[in-house]
Structure 1
Amino acid sequence: MDLHLSARRALVTGSTSGLGEATVRMLAAEGAAVVVHGRNAERARAIADELIAAGGRASVAVGDLSTDAGADAVAEAALAGGPVDILVNNAGAYEHLDWSEATPAAWATTYDQNVISGVRMIQRLVPAMRERGWGRVITIGGGLGGQPMNTHPQYNATLAARHNLAVSLARELKGTGVTSNVVAPGAILVPAVEKLLTGIAGERGWGDSWDEIEVNSVRELVPNDANRFGRPDEIAGAVAYLCGPLADYISGASLRVDGGTVRSVQ
């Protein structure tokens, strides 16, 4: 399917690894000109070069979005190649803390990294989208925003805030041709997750092969209708769909990509 992205430019924040990297690669494959963002210039440049070598169009923006100066630098670099039509707010940070470890300072830092960072980019890029009468803002959220666990409360809360701000933005952009939506991943198999699960599989009795470990760990930790972890490309595919004109009639929505996960509240 042609998602009609060849005339568009997209900035994907936090796109040097994980879901952001999968997304920037898919958007480039769909014909969009992409801006690879990260805090590591060497890694961002390597990904951009790979995309260019494969026939894509890519540039780089480097900066720490948890500061105004960093956001200014990223916006300037992203706009140097032309208008940005699509903003994918993916960048964020995660730290596994329990309630006793999650100090007020940790809450404030996580909120700045995961919520205000996205606001900074919205305020720098969306006004021009509104003026042109077309644009997309995709916020990467997560199921923990609505079904939080008892651990890492500071992170759960930022996901809820990301969902909330995306809907508020959609209301603000009513009738402008610019939409705002959320893609909410479930448990996704990235290298760090696979490494963690493989490392604890023996003590949990999950088996020896990855096929056994995946089925058993999903059953115990994140039961879902698909009986597996999601893959990064499945998140990227949802983002790519929302970026194109086929999704013109979708705004203020949250697209769950979680295998039908239903988490028991603890």
Structure 2
Amino acid sequence: MDLRLTGRRALVTGSSSGLGEAITRLLAAEGAEVVVHGRNEDRARKVAEDIGAVAVAIGDLATDEGADAVAATAGEVDILVNNAGAYDHLGWADATPEVWVRTYEVNVVSCVRMIQRLVPGMRERGWGRVIQIGGGLASQPMPTQPHYNASLAARHNLAVSLARELKDTGVTSNVVAPGAILVDSVERLLTRIAPEHGWGESWEEIERAAARDFVPNDIGRFGRPEEIAGAVAYLAGPYADYVSGATLRVDGGTVRSVT
């Protein structure tokens, strides 16, 4: 299926690995002119070479200077995917106010910086897509990682506010909310802790048991980066012209909701 992305310029933040890399690969395969972003130039350039990206943007989006540099390299972007972010495994006792502030800076304000630099051009040209990578923890938070949960909720909220702001402009704003996704670091973690949980020896046994115990869902496994990329690619193109202010959950049914 042709998603009609040929010729559209796309910036995917945090795309030198993981979900961001998977998103850039699919957008490029669909004909988009992709700008790969990262803070590690070697990793970003390797991804860019692999997918035939048109540019590599290096910069820390948690700073105005970094955001300026990335926006300058990205140029006139039609599709902005705010994927870059960070998380840790701290709980309420360890997540100090300083940790909360830093998490908000990295996971929320960085998105705002890119929106404010790139969306005005989309408005002038009369077409654009802004896609936040959020998560189910925005609406169904855990007792741990409270600062991370809250930052995801802010991403979801700002996306809807932006959609209202962009009314009648031809620019849409939406969220893709992944569940637990099987990136390399997650697979290594699950394999390492499997013996203490009695999850079995084969990867098939480990994944099925870990999904049951950690992220119960209707599919019985972890998601794949390519499945998140597919949702982003749909929202990025003209088939989603009538979708704005929406959250597209790709979580196997982890979040139980009738809406």
2:8 maps to 8
Q: Kindly indicate whether the alpha-carbon contact (under 8 Å) linking 2:39 and 2:59 is maintained by their aligned counterparts in 1.
A: yes
2:22 maps to 22
Q: Given the alignment of the two structures, is residue 87 of structure 1 paired with residue 80 of structure 2, yes or no?
A: yes
TM-score in terms of structure 1 length = 0.95
1:193 maps to 186
Aligned length: 256
2:159 maps to 166
Give the 5 Å matches for 1:37-52. 37-52=37-52
Counterpart pick for 1:239 among 220, 232, 239: 232
Give the 5 Å matches for 1:63-212. 63-79=59-75, 83-212=76-205
Q: Kindly indicate whether the alpha-carbon contact (under 8 Å) linking 1:4 and 1:245 is maintained by their aligned counterparts in 2.
A: yes
For residues 192 and 50 of structure 1, what CA distance do their matches in structure 2 show?
Answer: 21
Please report how far the alpha carbon of residue 58 of structure 1 lies from its aligned counterpart in structure 2 after TM superposition. 2.5
Match of 1:218, SS state, is helix
For residues 42 and 177 of structure 1, what CA distance do their matches in structure 2 show?
Answer: 36
Please report how far the alpha carbon of residue 7 of structure 1 lies from its aligned counterpart in structure 2 after TM superposition. 1.7
For residues 186 and 58 of structure 1, what CA distance do their matches in structure 2 show?
Answer: 30
TM-score in terms of structure 2 length = 0.98
Q: Kindly indicate whether the alpha-carbon contact (under 8 Å) linking 1:223 and 1:262 is maintained by their aligned counterparts in 2.
A: no
Please report how far the alpha carbon of residue 124 of structure 1 lies from its aligned counterpart in structure 2 after TM superposition. 0.1
Match of 2:196, SS state, is helix
For residues 146 and 13 of structure 1, what CA distance do their matches in structure 2 show?
Answer: 23
For residues 51 and 183 of structure 1, what CA distance do their matches in structure 2 show?
Answer: 22
5+ long unaligned stretches in structure 2:
none
1:65 alignment partner AA: L
Please report how far the alpha carbon of residue 262 of structure 1 lies from its aligned counterpart in structure 2 after TM superposition. 3.5
4+ aligned runs moved over 4 Å, structure 1: none
5+ long unaligned stretches in structure 1:
none
For residues 211 and 48 of structure 1, what CA distance do their matches in structure 2 show?
Answer: 32
Report the identity percentage.
73
Q: Kindly indicate whether the alpha-carbon contact (under 8 Å) linking 1:214 and 1:228 is maintained by their aligned counterparts in 2.
A: yes
Q: Given the alignment of the two structures, is residue 216 of structure 1 paired with residue 209 of structure 2, yes or no?
A: yes
Alignment RMSD, CA only? 0.7
Q: Kindly indicate whether the alpha-carbon contact (under 8 Å) linking 1:206 and 1:212 is maintained by their aligned counterparts in 2.
A: yes
